[in-house]
Structures are given as C-alpha cells and as structure tokens.
Structure 1
Amino acid sequence: MIKVGIVGGTGYTGVELLRLLVQHPDVQLEVITSRSEAGLPVADMYPNLRGHLDLAFSQPDVNTLKQCDLVFFATPNGIAMQQVPELLEAGVKVVDLAADFRLSDPAVWEKWYGMPHACENILAEAVYGLPEINRAKVREARLVANPGCYPTAVQLGFLPLVEQGLIRGDLVADCKSGVSGAGRQTHLGSLLCEASENFKAYGVPGHRHLPEIRQGLARAAGHEIGLTFVPHLTPMIRGIHATLYAQVPDRSVDLQALYEQRYANEVFVDVMPAGSHPETRSVKGSNRCRIAIHRPQDGDTVVILSAIDNLVKGAAGQAVHNMNLMFGLDEQAGLGHVALLP
C-alpha cells in the first residue's frame, strides 16, 4: 500500500482527493493537514466521507509527512515550494496541485504570482503532469506539477493541431468554469446571490493560467504560439467548457481521424463522433475530457469543444492519475467513476 499524506485537505480540491483516494485499492491515507481545523474529524466537515474515512485534520508537521511515500499539496500558491525540498530529500514523492512548479521560468512565476520562487534549484526537475504529453517523464518523477483546470481543457483541445503544425495565426480559447474553480474561501463573487442568474468574463487583461497554457503549447509546437484566453464564470458548481478556435487552412486533413488517432490510447480522453457537442454534465465527477471537432461551413476556422470536471480531470483526478504513474500502478486505479447524471 502507498502511504499518502495530503497538505491542505479542507478545500474543494482536497475533499475531491479524499473522495477518490478512500476508494483507491492501493492507497492508505496517513495524514490530512489543516492549520485552521486541526483536531476536527474530516467526516465532520465533509459528511460524504462518513463511514469511509476515520481521520482527523492535524497540524502540518514535516516529520510526519516524511513517513509517507507520497504527499499531495492541495494548498494555496506559494506553500508547497516552502516544504517540498525537505520532503524530496527524505525520499518522499510529491504531487503539487497548486501552481508552484508549473512554470519553468522563475521570472515568469514571479510576474504572474507576485512572489519570488523559493526553490529555483529544484524547479527544473519538476515534471508537468499532463499524462497525455508527459507520461514517460511522470513515471520517473519524484516531483510532479499538476496542471491547472483551464490549461488541461485548453491544451488537450489544441494539442493534435499544434503537434502537427496545422495552425496558422493565433489561437483563441473562450472558456467557462463553474464557481468551485474559485475555491472554498469566502469571495463576494462566489455567493449565491452574486453568481446565480449571472454570467461574466473575468481576467481578460491576463489570467494566471495564460502563461501555463502558452508554455505547454509552445513545447508541443517547438515555437511560441499566440493565444487569446478569456475565462468566464458560469452559475454552476463544477465543470469547464472550453470553446477553442484555430485557423487551419489545409482542408485535406481529416481532423476527426487526427484526433481519434492522437487519443486512441488515452483512456481519459473521449473524442466524440463528428458533429457532437460535449456537455459539462457528461463529465461531472469523472476524470474524463470529452472533445468534439467542428469546421463550420467548411471554412478555415476550426472549432474544438473540450469539456472536463474542473475538480477531477482539472485537479484531483489528474493528480491521482499522476500518482498511479509514479508508482507503476494501473492508470485507471481509483478513477473508474462514471459521470453523474442528472
């Protein structure tokens, strides 16, 4: 059994990790930390775990965490990088669900996150944990940077086109997210009276996920890719729908076949039949990304639709997938959940 610890278990990502891990056949949960809730039984905060988990939150203690085989960080940005070096030195593997190790350039990190990077010396060894791109590297990694939710949906949607060099000009990512993407903290914009019966764009001048997406697409293409990324908040709890636009003048390419072949061996990416329109509810609670490709009016503009659950494929589920790879387990272990309907 893999002995697992979670740092920061009180947020939505933390409880989603717990929901997945308590059903994982190869995991033994050892410790779940929370400074504010230390001593409180986890099931008292999250009653869905009652009967599945008999642990209480505890104060973060690096010596306790060192007894684990792997530690997940489900913490605000800037926390993991303070503790990861000591854990790695002790032989503990780490999956960070925050952004601390996603950007390879510390100057870019500081620009977008407003703080200097605390451990530039190990930043270079962090593996970006999008398994559909870096599966082999994740298997050998001791530190994995779990991708953000928007970057997961956008990159998976654009990847086949970018990898084949089919795009001309800049890309556009028009993305919508449920309110849980803002986290469990109290925010005015997340209140029911503010978010319900409302729809808005935000972060248009620049969202923190923009450099992450650009970095991933540039690596796939071998050169920089122009991208306009506009996120929106929708009055639903969970889910991301990304409507992606690319100029692909070459009409000879069978785009449906291209996507089906690229993701043929990816169990968590579902390329839907031509003409489909994936819905967020079709992936709710699952670790699956559903994709559909369109070329409206047979023009140069290709539209890719990409739908994920922001808390699963966009966060906790992908983190468990990375753990499975790091320990040589079945990639689907603990992730076979069917999406919830209605």
Structure 2
Amino acid sequence: MSDSNTSAFTNPSTFILQGIPGLETTYTWISIPFCTIYATAILGNITIMFIVKTEQTLHGPMYYFLCMLATIDLILCTSTLPKTLSIFWFNSREISFNACLAQMFFIHCFSAMESGILVAMAFDRYVAICDPLRHSTILTNRVVAKIGLAVGMRSAIFVLPYPLLTRQWLYCRTNIIPHLYCGHIAVVNLACTDTQLSSYYGLFVLFSVNGVDIIFIIVSYIHILRAIFRLPTKEARLKTFGTCSSHLCAISTLHIPDLIASLLRRFGHNMPLSFLILFANVYLVVPPMLHPIVYGVRTKQIRDRLLRLFTHKET
C-alpha cells in the first residue's frame, strides 16, 4: 500500500503512523521504558481501586474521586500504549481511519476528564478544610456521582466535535501521521482544505476546559491556604496542608508536563522532531503511572492498607 496519495479523498481508508524518525533502530530499547510505564500504570491503578473497594474506611469522596481518576488513567494509557508498542515491536504502523478517529476521541476526552476530576478533588479539599463540619452533608455519595457524571459529559461534549470535524476534511497531501498516535492537530494538518475551524475550536477547548480547570484549582487553593494560615499552631497548619500534598503532586504531574508540551509545540521548532514526538508521548502516559504511586506513598490510609496487604501475604 502506498504511504501517500496525491488525489483528494474525504475519508482515507488508513493512516500510517510514522513513529519516531531516525530512531527506528532503537525501537526495541525505547519500548522497554514504555512497556514498564504501561505495566506500572495498570498494576498501580488497579491496586488503588482494589484497596478503596475493600477498605471500608476509604469509602469517602476523596477516594471515590481517586477511583475515578484511576479508571480514567487506565483508559487513557490503554488508548495509546498498545498501538505504540506494536509499532516498536512489529512495525505495525497502519491504523484505519475510524480507529484513528476513535483513538483521537479517547485521548482528548479522557485527558479532559482527568483534568476535571482533579478539579473535583480540589473542591473536596476546599470543603474538607474550609467547611469541615458540612463536608459529609455537601459531598454525599449522590453528589460525588453527579460530579463524576458531569465531568464525563462535559469532556465528551467538548471533544466530540474533534472527530466529527476531522471526518469532513479532504485529505490529499499524505496519509502519514508524523507521530505515534492520532492526535487532533497531527491529523488535521494532513488535510488539504482550510481547517481553521478545527484549529480555532481546539484553542477554544484548551481555554474552556484546561484553562477554566486551572483557574478553579487556583481559586480553591487560595481559599485553602487562607484557611490553613488562620490555624493557631504550626503543627496544625503542616498537618492540614499535608492532606493536600497528594493532590498537589497529581496536579503537577499532569499540568506541568502539559504546559511544557504546549510550549514545545509552539516554540520548539529548532528541537529535533524525534525529541518532540517522544516527549509528547511521555507526558501523555507518565501521569497514569505516577498518580497511583503518589497517592500510595503520600496518603497514609492507602499506604497502611498496602503494608497490611503485603504483610498478610508474607505471613
């Protein structure tokens, strides 16, 4: 099959994922950390969900949100890493047009959901610290479920136009995607028609979803810090702030690499293409691996349950 086509066609039957140009001979070595990341993400997130499910003391809003985050992370890394590993191991670069659009939707939808759940967790910390007496009455199981549903619906509604718009463009330049997965802009750039609508809509989603989420998180933590600094003793302030440390680490693992990736896409024109592609994949799959590690290490209840689990097995 030819890798390119010079005549216009609305829906190409397949795309070709180019991989990482110039590093083809090192794919076996590159696959090792990617495979390790995937295995760690699966094991870590399933462990978190198992612990929360089996430990009655963890049946609370923060841990329900953590289970939602673990589920999202599992789906997010599974939407990209199996295909990435098949490219590294079997040179399986072809992906059908519909599968490409599906992958695009899952990547962007669950990335937005991940950001939304972190906002929900920030709200949980805000209520727990600023209005602790009403925490159990404000964040009931019903409210937590509604928040999770709202986050999912918001993400799906905002991201659904991505594949719908991408489907309508004419593709006549090439069907080679210079990437390891079907990102929105990477596919849209292959079209030979005016795709400004897709570009503008992508910016709209960026500001309406990620931008608004970051603002909500910042406002929440401004109120949280004000409440913490009003506490009478240093020990109380440190203990209260410690309840936010896992959430702050989770935010950092998601938004800092996302910010760096955005800057590299706009200003990293002199950077090697292989580095840009590698970083774009790393920042997408590393948070699903780090989130369960962060919460497992930083959250005492989960850490103690893990220790009891392994100690019981040894005995």
What TM-score, normalized to structure 2?
Answer: 0.29
Structure whose residues are more often strand by fraction:
1
TM superposition score normalised by structure 1: 0.27
Q: Which has the higher helix share?
A: 2
Which is greater in Rg? 2
